[in-house]
Amino acid sequence: MIAIIDYGAGNLNSIQKALEFIGLETEILASAHKQEVEKYSGLVLPGVGSFPGAAERLKQDGFIEFIADFVATGKAFLGICLGMQLLFEWGYEELKTQGLGLLPGEVVKIESEYKIPHMGWNELEIINDDPLFKGLPARAHFYFVHSYQLKDVSDDVLAVVDYGTKIPAVVRKNNVIGLQFHPEKSGDNGIKLLENFGELL
């Protein structure tokens, strides 16, 4: 059973439907109960909304500790879009806000000659191969909608995309995984990647 964290932001249906499409059981989690860490084999933090708003809701709803406890068990934790951005130490959307701090790094506004938000399909450039990428075609594209990005291509970054500037697209440190794009909107590649995530559970 995979828990999808509901913190009042975003459309959870899409990610839930995509996970169910590949045969995984899901449950939407609206509040955190410590004992439930045991119950789930995987945890997903989706995200549409703003960094400060989401961070505040996670704190209010008791998810900060829940996530820390979950990650400590070694089970897979996946952050998507804003959910990936929240994995890092600091966000600079609207105001400087503390993130979950599971990975080192800062989230800043995209600086590019192209239009912001970065919205549409972009081609993944893999810099560190990983079982997550198993079975993807050459020139795999994924669907992005975001205005902020992880600032630096840190050691945890597995893949980037080029948008006039390098944007970290996939990060992973052990059981903590982040995707800047929306796998649930990236057609067959997104489904493949979620299946690979499913293999980690």
Partner 1 sequence: MHKKRIIPCLDIKDGRVVKGVNFVDLIDAGDPVESARKYNDLGADELVFLDITATKEKRKTLAELVEKVAAQVFIPLTVGGGIRTVEDMQLILRSGADKVSVNSAAVKNPELVKEGAQAFGSQCIVGAVDADKRDSGDGWEIFINGGSKETGIDLIEWVKDLEELGAGEILLTSINADGTKDGYDIEMLKAVTEAVNIPVIASGGAGKIKDFIDVFEETGADAALAASIFHFGEIAIKDVKKELEKAGIPVRIEE
**Parallel, antiparallel or unpaired: strands 125-126 and 106-109:** unpaired
Q: How far is it, in rounded angstroms, from Cα 88 to Cα 102?
A: 6
Catalytic one of 93, 184, 195, 199 = 184
For 153-167, letters b (16+ CB in 10 Å) and e give: eeebbbbbbebeebb
What are the CA-CA distances from residue 12 to residues 47, 79, 186 (Å)?
8, 13, 15
Whether 94 is catalytic is no
Q: How far is it, in rounded angstroms, from Cα 87 to Cα 64?
A: 11
CB count in 10 Å sphere of residue 79:
28
Answer for which of 25, 56, 94, 123 binds partner 1 (CB under 8 A) is 123
CB of 139 to partner 1, least distance (A): 5
Whether 146 is catalytic is no
The secondary element (H helix, E strand) that includes residue 59 is helix 51-60
Span interacting with partner 1, options 59-67, 126-134, 149-157, 185-193, rule CB under 8 A: 185-193
Residue 49 sits in the site that holds partner 1 (CB under 8 A):
yes
Nearer to partner 1 among residue 70 and residue 133 (C-beta): 133
Whether 182 is catalytic is yes
Residue 114 sits in the site that holds partner 1 (CB under 8 A):
yes
Q: How far is it, in rounded angstroms, from Cα 112 to Cα 165?
A: 6
Span interacting with partner 1, options 58-66, 70-78, 98-106, 114-122, rule CB under 8 A: 114-122
Nearer to partner 1 among residue 40 and residue 144 (C-beta): 144
Q: What positions carry a catalytic annotation?
A: 81, 182, 184
What residues line the site for partner 1 (CB under 8 A)? 11, 13-14, 17-18, 21, 48-49, 114-115, 117-123, 137-141, 143, 145, 162-164, 184-191
